[in-house]
Amino acid sequence: PGGKQLEPLKYGKVATEASVSRKKVECCILGTMSLLYHCLEKGMSVAFVLRDVGVLLIEGSMVLMRFYLDFLEKVTGERIQDRATLKALQQLDMVVSRVVPVASLSFSGRVIIFPK
């Protein structure tokens, strides 16, 4: 939809950036996608911990993205010190602490966490 073209993942570029072999990158990505597919097929809750960004939680038909405060500060280009702004972000369920257990973000308290 919208005339957007999908680009194939450049395994070689990922391998170079991560300083590992292309085969290892391919195996890791395909293994992760396979596990994700099976978890979602069985209705399990999954969470992707995105380093320096936040947590993407998929639970049933609900998808929720929560961001680390320092990531939001980088995006906005300013410190979020105002208590009212911070409280509003928390009430909108947009902010998550790095120290909060990921399972506590789900309704069931049980979640498969990627990557591990």
Site of tokens 């990557």? 115
Q: Model-level pTM?
A: 0.71
Whether 28 and 10 have beta carbons less than 8 Å apart is answered as no
Q: What is the pLDDT of residues 13-68, one digit of tens each?
A: 999 999 999 999 999 999 989 988 998 899 888 998 888 899 999 988 889 898 98
C-alpha 2/C-alpha 49 separation (Å) is 29
Q: Quote the CA–CA distance of 38 and 42 in Å, as a whole number.
A: 6
Region label for 66, one of left (φ > 0), alpha (ψ between -120 and 50) or beta (otherwise) = beta
Please write the tens of the pLDDT for every residue from 3-25: 788 888 899 999 999 999 999 99
pLDDT band at 116 (very low <50, low <70, confident <90, very high): low
